[in-house]
Structure 1
Amino acid sequence: MTFDKQPYQPSTIFNDSPVERRLQVQRAERERAALRESELEEQASHVKEPRERIEIWERLHALRLPRTPDHLLLKVIATQTRLTVAQVHEEQQRRVARSM
């Protein structure tokens, strides 16, 4: 009895040596860190509008802007985006008006 099947070929994922794979992982980590650092700079950039800075903050932290005007997180958002609490309140109000 003969079989026409080819011998088992491992996928290309397993062709990398452990050293090569480690270097790939380290490179990917450095790229992610650089991207995050860039986004952190953008969230505080005076070139960006307050709305944009808050949206970047939301994306980076996977959180939404709180709806209540006295929420403790508003001061944190203002500090990290280099906005005033009043500017953060304005964005809250803009969003409420937009949803009506």
Structure 2
Amino acid sequence: MTFDRQPYQPSTILHDSPVERRLQVQRAEQERAALRESELEDQSSPVKEPRERIEIWERLHALRLPRSPDHLLLTVIATQTRLTVAQLHEEQRRRVARSVPPAAGALT
């Protein structure tokens, strides 16, 4: 039986100089900032469907679309996604309809 094991290679992170490590951290921060900027643009993009814009908003803000049609946050979400409150209400209704189990008597 032969083993095709590679010789142990210590992590290059252990050998990075402080300057190299700082540059890696800065690059990672720039990548995160660019991704966030892209998602901020997508959350209000007319090319995206309302459902997509709302999901992007939820992900960016780590919040869910409120269930109440009178919630004050809906106006904030509408502004940031460039949707109407009516479109948000439509998404609320869609989610409620999706989560309601079928009636017991409706079996076919």
* TM-fit CA distance, 1:14: 1.9
SS in 2 for 1:26: helix
* TM-fit CA distance, 1:10: 6.5
Letter in 2 for 1:46: P
* TM-fit CA distance, 1:11: 4.2
Cross-structure match for 2:47: 47
Cross-structure match for 1:4: none
**Structure 1 residues 15-72: Cα deviation after superposition (integer angstroms, max 9, x where no partner):** 0000000000000000000000000000000001100100000011111100001111
2: CA distance between counterparts of 1:11 and 1:32?
24
State the aligned residue count: 92
TM-score (norm 1): 0.87
Cross-structure match for 2:103: none
Letter in 2 for 1:25: V
- Cα–Cα, structure 1 residues 14 and 70, in superposed 2: closer, same or farther, change >3 Å? same
Cross-structure match for 1:79: 79
* TM-fit CA distance, 1:12: 2.6
TM-score (norm 2): 0.81
2: CA distance between counterparts of 1:33 and 1:49?
24
Q: Does 1:66 align with 2:72?
A: no
Cross-structure match for 1:31: 31
* Structure 2 alignment gaps of length 5 or more: 1-8, 101-108
1: CA distance between counterparts of 2:94 and 2:65?
12
Cross-structure match for 1:96: 96
- Percent identity between the aligned chains? 88
